Amino acid sequence: MKVHGGCHCGAIRFEAEVDPDKTMMCHCTDCQALSSTAFRVNVPTAAADFRLLRGTPKEYVKIGSSGARRAQGFCADCGSQIYATGAEHPREVYMLRTGVIEERQLLIPKGQIWRQSALGWLGDWPGIPAKPQG
Ligand SMILES: [Zn+2]
Ligand SMILES: [Zn+2]
């Protein structure tokens, strides 16, 4: 499905093609820290299907537990998180943060990853299959 999004201040706008069935919750500690909340919800888009319409996200490169370098794209003005992708070019897949997508109501998580670090007060969401790690 086609989705439209942008950061809170409006400096960045984008559109993308996503498969809603690939929407995932991530409970990893990096997602908790980078989102400054309990977990993050992501949906992938192929680089060829991701189009920046306005602005240029700033990128912070983090080293994942696998050693992979991941670029975290966000708005340098308002801080909204837009995506994560491989730090190297060319890029193949962008993991879009669903909170900045207008159609997020339709992006219902189909799985949970890194459940082992989920916060204890969260429900189990038994309808959403969970993997202990990534
Ligand atoms: Zn912004
Ligand atoms: Zn994560």
Task: Provide DSSP, 56-85.
Answer: --EEEEEE-TTS-EEEEEE-TTT--EEEEE
Cα 114 to ligand 2 centre (Å): 7
Of the listed ligands, the closest to the CA of 80 is: 1
Check pLDDT > 80 for residue 105: yes
For residue 16, give the 3-state DSSP assignment: strand
The DSSP letter of residue 9 is S
Q: How many other C-beta atoms can be found within 10 angstroms of the C-beta atom of residue 54?
A: 11
What does the alpha-carbon distance between residue 66 and residue 69 come to, in Å, rounded to a whole number? 9
**Number of residues that make up the chain:** 134
What does the alpha-carbon distance between residue 7 and residue 75 come to, in Å, rounded to a whole number? 7
DSSP H or E segment with residue 33: helix 29-35
The CATH-assigned architecture of domain 2-117 is: Beta Complex (2.170)
Both structure tokens of 10: 């409006």
Cα 29 to ligand 2 centre (Å): 7
**Arithmetic mean of pLDDT, 45-58:** 98
Instruction: Please report, for the chain, the start and end positions of each structural domain, with discontinuous segments joined by +.
Output: 2-117
Check pLDDT > 90 for residue 64: no
Of the listed ligands, the closest to the CA of 8 is: 1
Both structure tokens of 127: 């309808």
**Arithmetic mean of pLDDT, 82-104:** 97
Check pLDDT > 80 for residue 72: yes
Check pLDDT > 90 for residue 134: no
Q: What confidence category does residue 65 fall into, taking pLDDT thresholds of 50, 70 and 90? A: confident
**Arithmetic mean of pLDDT, 78-89:** 96
Of the listed ligands, the closest to the CA of 95 is: 2
Cα 74 to ligand 1 centre (Å): 8
Q: What is the pLDDT of residue 133?
A: 93
